[in-house]
Amino acid sequence: MKIRRILATAVAAAVTTPVVLLSAAPAFADTKPAAQTQNQNQNQDIEKLRLAVVKAQAAYDAAVAHVAELKTALDEFDKNHPELVTARADARKASDEAAAAKTAADQKVADAQKAMDELPADATDDQKVAAAKALADAQSEAATAKTTAEAKAAALADAQKAYDDARVALARDLSVAQKAVTDAKKALDAAQKALEEAEEAEPGDEDCQADKSLVTSVTGPKKITAGTSGVFTFRVTNKGKVELGEVGGYAEAFALDEDLDPYLHLTWSSATSPKWQAIDGEDGFSSLSSLKPGKSFDFKLKVAVDAKAPAGDGVVVAGGAYMNEDGSCGYDEEGSYAEFGIVKAHKPGTGNGGSAGGNGNTSPQGGQSTAPVATGTSGNGGSTGGSLATTGAGSSTLPIALAGGAAVVLGAGAMVVVRRRKAGAGA
């Protein structure tokens, strides 16, 4: 019942260190009027705060979901821990039987003592010897029964303690999770307040909006072998009726098990930017071109997995955005993602030689491919490439829209975790 890092760790970062998305292409801010540059900076500040709210909301939602999971686990504790329930029941049965045997043995001692005390005055020596032996045998049996009963009672106490300790530990986790909800709510409230104040201070500021005409998808390999790379295609499609200005995107690759995160490395390229470039959390990527109605532009996202990476599951999430010449901008409404499995490399001579899950559009481990991707467009008359769009939208303005793209990336990541969490609960 782990809470995903992309959400949980955002509680503090949502307020104190929001992500600043900068353009991957060269900036031309020095050629623009000072007022326009100031307005762009103000827009970027608004988008940073908006992204902080998205991250804080995601962290809060994840914390609430975690509390719900723990409450369910506590309610269904006996169902989920049959070994503890069975051990306690068996120990209680054995203890009850041993206690009953002790009671019976004690009664035999009492009966034997009574028989001895009631011997007649003219009892023979044989009768006296028999009565004494019966009493001694009863006392021996009672002593054994007492030892057994004490041992069974101790075993029951141990079984009960194991049951109680596990339940108390779960209750303690629930208490910690409930405090995390409180902390996450405080962070969310602070982030929302900061955004509201910034928006009130800039009443004329134009916000980027989610745009249904911008549709994205991520496709790629289902498995990546440790020590190799997998290349995913992030496609941005214009489903609208008007040409969009410079289009771009934002992406992240992370593992569903936090221990795998250090082993994953994400880079991107396209037909207009063929060299593989890193995405370090502060960079988006641009097509360097506009996008006509009905056409698509493809970005390549390469996930390199270290050779020492253990087996696990990962996901690539991405969101698209655009910026027009008139300053209007938009971003992908839902974002998109593709999940993949991380498999251990086979030793030489035992199978695929570490190539399973590999992709022909990758470079050897430790190197970088500078070969262009197969295509940067889809369909006829799609995006043009090689230079900035003729719309006049400089690359220094695209990050305003990319902030929205980063927000939907977090949203797509949240969908992955919720789906994984539900699948795990039903397993």
Place 391 in a pLDDT band, splitting at 50, 70 and 90. Answer: very low
User: What integer pLDDT is reported at residue 289 of this predicted model?
Assistant: 87
User: What integer pLDDT is reported at residue 401 of this predicted model?
Assistant: 61
Percent of the chain predicted with pLDDT > 90: 50
Query: What average pLDDT does the chain have?
Result: 77
Averaged pLDDT, 351-374: 39
Q: Which domains, and CATH codes, for the chain?
A: 30-207 (1.10.287), 208-426 (2.60.40.10)
The encoded tokens of residue 399 equal 């990050």
* Lowest pLDDT segment from 65-74, 83-92, 181-190, 284-293: 284-293
Q: What is the pTM of this model?
A: 0.48
CA distance 11 to 193: 15
Closest CA to 62 of 94, 26, 14, 130: 14
Place 288 in a pLDDT band, splitting at 50, 70 and 90. Answer: confident
Q: How many CB atoms lie within 10 A of CB 399?
A: 30
Residue 367 to residues 257, 262, 305, 344, 370: CA-CA distances in angstroms? Answer: 26, 18, 13, 20, 10
Q: What is the DSSP letter of 312?
A: E
The encoded tokens of residue 384 equal 């043009």
Averaged pLDDT, 311-327: 88
User: What integer pLDDT is reported at residue 27 of this predicted model?
Assistant: 30
Question: Does position 31 have pLDDT exceeding 60, yes or no?
Answer: no
Percent of the chain predicted with pLDDT > 70: 68
User: What integer pLDDT is reported at residue 101 of this predicted model?
Assistant: 96
CA distance 205 to 168: 52
CA distance 391 to 11: 39
User: What integer pLDDT is reported at residue 396 of this predicted model?
Assistant: 41
Place 417 in a pLDDT band, splitting at 50, 70 and 90. Answer: low
> Are β-strands 246-255 and 312-323 bridged in parallel, bridged antiparallel, or unpaired?
antiparallel
Averaged pLDDT, 143-169: 96
User: What integer pLDDT is reported at residue 46 of this predicted model?
Assistant: 80
